[in-house]
Amino acid sequence: MREEKTAGAAVEQPILWLGMAGFAPQERTVLEASLDRYGGLPRWRPSAFGDADAWWVNGAKVRPTPEGNLKVSPGMPTEHTLNLNPSEVDRPIAFALPLVGDDFEPRYTFDPVSQPSIDGVLSQFDHWLWLVRAQFVLGAQIIDRATTLRRDVYHVGHAGRLLAVLDFHHGKAALAPRAHPVDLWQAQWLKRPIGAHGLPESFVPMTPAHLTWTYVRRTDRNMLPERYRTQTIYYRHVPGVPLWWLRDSQLMLLRELSAEPGTIEALRQRTGLPLGTIEHDLSCLYYAYAITTTREKAAAPVASPHERQAPSSQSMMDSVFSNQSRPSQPHRDLTAPALLERRKPADPDPAD
């Protein structure tokens, strides 16, 4: 694990997820290997395109459209053509050289056969993703301090600067613009009166659930409580994070649990998902207050997924991709369960 030294101790670095489009299988293999050789601090790993923190696109496969979008031809049999709307892309994107024509000038480009060039663009991505890296640190600290936080308010500061406000009484949080991960690892947590819960207007608003989800999504630590491996799991309520953060596999698990509780083994049989994927997804859902092992805290079951017709979940990707751009995959019912009004998330409960 790549680590960073601070205050005499090693601290964990987040996994940042990279999606690729338009590359042939052999090209993708070379690029994925280059991630392991990256000398920066965050760890980069390949992921599904829609789930990634940043994107690499093969510039030789890009064609600008009259509407101003970028059409990316598939590089693998499992891919479909992507139709990217640059004005709505919400994460860093870099294009592998050579580019075809001079119809567009991307902000980031790189030479896919040059490790220094690859390292350079990943380093730029590291800076662009400062918010994710900062959220990762706070999420780790919240989880490690979970038994002592209760419903209190904390000001997190370093070297006389306020970096974050964490209000566990109202389920709110805020992060200072450009707060550095190293400063957050070294920061002091000052418990404040409930009345000191105000969030500075210049800070980035979020919730404790956003922070813990960000950490669990990007750590190699096994974060699933042991009881979830043996006991029956129940759907509790809508996750306390934006719906578009959920992967297809997480939507599938929520759909199944909203219809009928089950053990991990039952979920594996019902979904066909690998056990490792289920465990990781359940870890995220646990820290987003969406599942429980306590029957009394469970939501009432809804109709069986085979008996009801619900609208398919729509993620932020739908404003970036065209209808033809979705990756091909076996047909699965990925409808999100109970798209209801969002209730205020409960605090994590060791008895859940």
pLDDT for 352 equals: 57
Distances (CA, A) of 121 to 37, 63, 107, 156, 196: 13, 22, 10, 31, 41
The CATH classification number of 3-128 equals 3.40.50
pLDDT by residue (tens digit) across 102-135?
778 898 999 999 999 999 999 999 999 999 999 9
pLDDT for 1 equals: 40
Sign, CA torsion 235/346/133/127: positive
pLDDT in tens, the chain (352 residues): 444 544 434 589 999 999 999 999 999 999 999 999 998 889 999 999 999 999 999 999 999 999 989 999 999 998 999 999 988 999 999 999 999 877 788 989 999 999 999 999 999 999 999 999 999 999 999 999 988 888 899 999 999 999 999 999 999 999 999 899 999 999 999 999 998 889 999 999 999 999 999 999 999 999 999 999 999 999 999 999 998 899 999 999 999 999 999 999 999 999 999 999 999 999 999 999 999 999 999 998 765 544 443 333 333 233 233 333 333 333 344 444 444 334 333 344 434 5
pLDDT for 11 equals: 81
Ranges in the chain annotated CATH 1.10.10: 226-325
- CATH architecture of the domain formed by 226-325: Orthogonal Bundle (1.10)
Ranges in the chain annotated CATH 3.40.50: 3-128
Distances (CA, A) of 342 to 55, 240, 345: 31, 8, 8
Closest to 237 (Cα-Cα) out of 288, 177, 273, 187: 288
Q: What angle do helix axes 248-259 and 275-287 make, rounded to 10 degrees?
A: 80
Q: What are the structure tokens assigned to 104, written together?
A: 């567009």
